[in-house]
Chain A
Amino acid sequence: MSGNDLHLTLKVWRQAGPNVPGKLVTYDAPGISPHMSFLEMLDVVNERLQEKGEEPIAFDHDCREGICGMCGLVINGVAHGPRRATTTCQLHMRYYKDGDTIVIEPWRAGPFPVIKDLVVDRAPFDRIIAAGGFISVSTGNAPDGNAIPVPKSSAELSMDAAACIGCAACVAACPNASAMLFVSAKVSHLGLLPQGQPERKARVLRMIAQMDAEGFGGCTNIGECEAACPKEIKLENIARLNRDYLAAAVTRRPETGSGGAG
Chain B
Amino acid sequence: MKLNGKCPTGPIDTQWSRYKNEIKLVNPSNKRKFKLIMVGSGLAGASGAASLAELGYNVEVFCYQDSPRRAHSIAAQGGINAAKNYQNDGDSVYRLFYDTVKGGDFRSRESNVHRLAEVSVNIIDQCVAQGVPFAREYGGTLSNRSFGGAQVSRTFYARGQTGQQLLLGAYQALERQIGAGAVKMHPRTEMLDLIVVDGRARGIVTRDMVTGKIESHLGDAVMLATGGYGNIFYLSTNAKGCNVTAAWRAHRRGAFFANPCYTQIHPTCIPVAGDYQSKLTLMSESLRNDGRIWVPLRAGDTRAPGQIPEAERDYYLERKYPSYGNLAPRDISSRAAKQVCDEGRGVGPGGRGVYLDLAESIARLGEGTIRERYGNLIEMYERITGEDPYKVPMRIYPASHYTMGGLWVDYNLMSNLTGLFVLGEANFSDHGANRLGASALMQGLADGYFVIPYTMGNYLATEKPPKVDLSHPEVKKVEAEVAERTKKLLSMKGKRSPDSFHKEVGKVMWEKCGMARNEAGLKEALQAIPAIREEFGKNLSVLGGEAELNQTLEKAGRVADFLELGELMCRDALVRDESCGGHFREEHQTPDGEAVRNDEKFCHVAAWEWTGEGKEPVRHEEALEFEFVHLATRSYK
Say whether B75 contacts A68, CB under 8 Å: yes
Of chain A, the residue at the smallest CB distance from B279 is A64
- Does A11 interact with chain B (Cβ within 8 Å)? no
Contact check, B129 vs A65: say whether CB atoms are below 8 A apart.
Answer: no
Residue interface mask A22-33, B partner, CB < 8 A = 1: 000000000001
Q: Which of A54-62, A98-106, A249-257 is near enough to bind chain B?
A: A54-62
In the assembled complex, the Cα of A105 lies from the Cα of B135 at a distance in Å of 38
Question: 0/1 per residue, A141-163, Cβ < 8 Å to B?
Answer: 11111101111100100110011
Q: Is A240 an interface position by the 8 A CB rule?
A: no
Q: Given known contacts A126-B175, A144-B125, is B66 in contact with A61 (CB within 8 Å)?
A: no
CB-nearest residue of chain A relative to B555? A56
CA distance A148 to B127 in the complex (A): 12
Complex interface residues of chain A between 44 and 93 (CB less than 8 A to chain B): 44, 47, 50-51, 53-56, 58, 60-70, 83, 85-86, 90, 92
- B159-189, CB < 8 A from A: 159, 161, 164-165, 168, 171-173, 175-176, 178-179, 185, 187
Is A176 positioned at the interface, with any CB of B under 8 Å from its CB?
A: no
CB distance from A191 to the nearest CB of B (A): 9
Decide: A70 and B276 in contact? CB cutoff 8 A: no
Q: Beta-carbon contacts of B103-126 to A below 8 Å, as 1s and 0s?
A: 000000000000000000010111
* Complex: A116 Cα to B337 Cα, angstroms: 44
CA of A130 to CA of B176 in the docked complex: distance in angstroms? 5
Q: Which residues of A contact B127 (CB under 8 A)?
A: 145
Task: Kindly state whether residue B449 has any CB partner on chain A within 8 Å.
Answer: yes
Within 8 A of B (CB), among A89-146: 90, 92, 94, 115-116, 119, 121-123, 125-126, 129-146
Whether the Cβ atoms of A142 and B126 lie closer than 8 Å is: yes
A212 within 8 A of B: no
Within 8 A of A (CB), among B72-118: 72, 74-75, 84, 86
How close is B618's CB to chain A, nearest CB, in angstroms? 36
Q: Does B240 contact A (CB under 8 A)?
A: yes
Q: B residues within 8 A CB of A9? A: none
B343 at the interface (CB under 8 A from A): no
Chain A interface size band reads: 35 or more
Whether the Cβ atoms of A151 and B140 lie closer than 8 Å is yes
Q: Are B122 and A56 in contact (CB under 8 A)?
A: no
Across the interface, which residues of A come within 8 angstroms of B165, CB to CB? 159, 162
Question: Which of B327-335, B359-367, B541-549 makes up part of the contact surface?
Answer: B541-549
Interface-forming stretch among B10-18, B379-387, B399-407, B410-418?
Answer: B379-387
- Tell me which residues across on chain A come within 8 A of B47, comparing CB atoms: 139
Cβ contacts A213-235/B at 8 Å (1 or 0 each): 00000000000000000000000
A50–B549 CB distance below 8 A: no
Judge whether A14 is part of the interface by a CB distance below 8 angstroms.
no
The answer on a CB contact under 8 Å between B66 and A70 is yes
Residue A236 interfacial (CB < 8 Å)? no
A148 and B72 form a contact (CB under 8 A): no
Is the pair A43, B276 in contact by a Cβ cutoff of 8 Å?
yes
Closest Cβ–Cβ distance, residue B286 to chain A (whole Å): 16
Task: From A63, A64, A166, A195, give the contact of B129 (CB < 8 A).
Answer: A195
Cα distance A64–B75 in the bound complex, in angstroms: 10
Give Cα A66 to B382, complex, Å: 13
A67 to B278, CA, bound (A): 16
Tell me whether B471 is interfacial, beta carbon within 8 Å.
Answer: no
Q: Say whether B172 contacts A139, CB under 8 Å.
A: no
Residues of A close to B69: CB separation below 8 A: 69, 126, 129, 166
In the complex, besides A39-B278, A92-B386, 4 extra interface pairs with C-beta distance below 8 angstroms are A119-B549, A145-B128, A162-B158, A166-B70
Q: What are 24 sample pairs from A and B whose C-beta atoms fall under 8 A apart?
A: A36-B276, A54-B543, A58-B549, A62-B65, A63-B72, A63-B239, A63-B240, A65-B281, A67-B75, A68-B65, A123-B66, A123-B187, A130-B179, A132-B179, A134-B173, A135-B129, A136-B176, A137-B129, A145-B124, A148-B128, A155-B134, A155-B136, A159-B158, A162-B168
Query: Which 7 residue pairs are nearest across A and B when measured between Cβ atoms?
Result: A149-B140, A130-B179, A134-B172, A142-B129, A142-B125, A159-B133, A130-B175
- Which B positions have Cβ atoms within 8 angstroms of A? 47, 50-51, 54, 65-70, 72, 74-75, 84, 86, 122, 124-131, 133-142, 158-159, 161, 164-165, 168, 171-173, 175-176, 178-179, 185, 187, 210, 239-241, 273-274, 276-279, 281-282, 379-380, 383-384, 386, 449-450, 453, 495, 497, 499-500, 541, 543-544, 548-549, 551-552
